[in-house]
């Protein structure tokens, strides 16, 4: 077989076009390098060989050739993902290629460039990483992400003080189901006496659904239509360890109903408010939801529907931009299985799951 043909171009796209024109669409890339010309400009040097339909084909069954080609294709894929992410310093990554796998993974997860920079900085891998392996970089990145995800147990033991929590969020984010999961978990795993209140005055189906959950769990459930009703219901549940309040789903742009919600619960200092966010929503939608619900002074985030998206970078994007602790995450409709107390290490491993080998070593 002839040695690979070398092509030089200022961009990957240009090099690919040259290779296709010269060797055909079946040509195979075997290596990529970033080189500096005599004039100081940077070029891509790409080596390629003809495909199986051309003279001197590559034997794909040859172990050495297969391993080399596969490795270079992976590196090329990583480079392409980084190149198409504005704001990432490609020359820096080419100078420190050990960062490429971690950066590529974070980009594919939807982690913003600014946040990615903060992660790399916290991990201590922006500079002087020549002595590190990719595995060591991965370990540091996983630890850094875990440390940037604050978590909080909203029902942590606090003596005999009753805990009252209301969940708020946009329509369809999963408030009623999350309330039921929280109630079941508190009863079965923590032996808490729980009571439920619905202040959803818009959706009859939601009130009935919450009442059905309450009947199954064998706990009391009351409906409140006014602030006075809410105080009365809280009085009837004063012997309960935990009271969970379900609210009406509403658009983050419906300021009238948001004001109604604030009038209903916003002035009651004993009620902790928790904001539900759908992980699959766009970051701009999340940001707008947070901005509009901020007058309620919510205490923690609850991220829902983790099972409905493959990109979960918005979890850390959101926490970095609007710092709040995470209390719960949910993934599915099953009660009570599909809810879990937030754990920074687990969330970090989930975000960077191609690094799961290193994630198990976080506690070391």
Domains in the chain, CATH or no CATH each: 1-84 (no CATH), 86-150+344-364 (no CATH), 163-342 (3.40.50.300)
Beta bridge partners of 274: 167, 300
Considering the chain, what is the average pLDDT of its residues? 79
Alpha-carbon distance of 77 to 170, in angstroms, equals 37
Residue 266: its pLDDT value, please?
65
Percent of the chain with pLDDT over 90: 31
* CB count in 10 Å sphere of residue 205: 9
Residue 359: its pLDDT value, please?
34
181 contact partners, CB below 8 Å, separation of at least 6 = 330, 335, 336, 338, 339
Q: Which of the given ranges, 65-74, 133-142, 251-260, 283-292, has the highest pLDDT on average?
A: 283-292
Residue 204: its pLDDT value, please?
58
Alpha-carbon distance of 234 to 232, in angstroms, equals 5
Alpha-carbon distance of 269 to 357, in angstroms, equals 45
Alpha-carbon distance of 153 to 138, in angstroms, equals 28
Q: Do residues 314 and 103 touch, judged by C-beta distance below 8 A?
A: no
Q: In the predicted model, is pLDDT for residue 183 greater than 90? A: yes
Alpha-carbon distance of 166 to 244, in angstroms, equals 6
Q: Considering only residues 148 and 129, tell me which one the structure prediction assigns the higher pLDDT.
A: 148
| Average pLDDT estimate for 322-348 | 88
Q: Do residues 49 and 58 touch, judged by C-beta distance below 8 A?
A: yes
Q: Which runs of consecutive H residues, i.e. helices, occur in the chain? A: 12-23, 63-83, 90-95, 100-108, 113-123, 134-147, 175-190, 204-217, 227-236, 255-261, 283-293, 314-321, 344-351, 356-359
- Ranking 38-42, 218-222, 289-293 by mean pLDDT, the lowest is 38-42
- Ranking 47-61, 145-159, 253-267 by mean pLDDT, the lowest is 47-61
What global pTM score does this model have? 0.72
Residue 253: its pLDDT value, please?
63
Residue range 267-323, pLDDT digits in tens:
677 899 999 999 989 889 999 999 989 988 899 999 999 888 878 899 999 999 999
């Amino acid at each position: 077989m002839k040695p690979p043909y070398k092509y030089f171009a200022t961009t990957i796209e240009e090099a690919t076009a040259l290779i296709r024109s010269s060797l055909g669409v079946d040509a195979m890339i075997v290596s990529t390098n970033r080189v500096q010309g005599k004039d100081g400009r940077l070029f891509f040097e790409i080596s390629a060989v003809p495909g199986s339909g051309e003279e001197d084909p590559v034997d794909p069954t040859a172990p050495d050739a297969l391993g080399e080609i596969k490795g270079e294709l992976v590196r090329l894929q990583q480079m392409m993902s980084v190149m198409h992410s504005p704001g990432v310093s490609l020359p820096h990554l080419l100078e420190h290629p050990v960062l490429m796998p971690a950066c590529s993974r974070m980009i594919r997860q939807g982690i913003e460039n600014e946040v990615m920079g903060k992660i790399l900085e916290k991990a201590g891998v922006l500079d002087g990483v020549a002595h590190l392996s990719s595995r060591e970089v991965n370990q540091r990145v996983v630890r850094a992400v875990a440390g940037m995800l604050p978590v909080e147990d909203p029902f942590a033991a606090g003596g005999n003080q009753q805990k009252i929590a209301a969940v708020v969020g946009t329509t369809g984010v999963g408030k009623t189901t999350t309330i039921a999961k929280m109630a079941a978990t508190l009863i079965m795993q923590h032996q808490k006496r729980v009571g439920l209140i619905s202040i959803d005055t818009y959706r009859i189906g939601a009130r009935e659904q919450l009442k059905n959950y309450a009947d199954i769990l064998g706990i009391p459930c009351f409906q409140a239509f006014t602030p006075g009703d809410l105080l009365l219901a809280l009085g009837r549940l004063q012997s309960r360890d935990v009271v969970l309040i379900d609210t009406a789903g509403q658009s983050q742009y419906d300021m009238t109903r948001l004001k109604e919600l604030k009038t209903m619960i916003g002035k009651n200092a004993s009620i902790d408010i928790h904001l539900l966010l759908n992980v699959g929503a766009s970051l701009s939608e999340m940001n707008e939801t947070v901005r509009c619900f901020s007058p309620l002074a919510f205490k923690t985030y609850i991220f829902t529907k983790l099972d409905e998206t493959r990109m979960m970078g918005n979890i850390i994007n959101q926490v970095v931009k609007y710092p709040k602790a995470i209390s719960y995450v949910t993934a599915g409709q099953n009660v009570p299985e599909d809810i879990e107390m937030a754990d920074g290490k687990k969330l970090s491993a989930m975000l960077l799951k191609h690094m799961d080998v290193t994630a198990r070593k976080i506690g070391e």
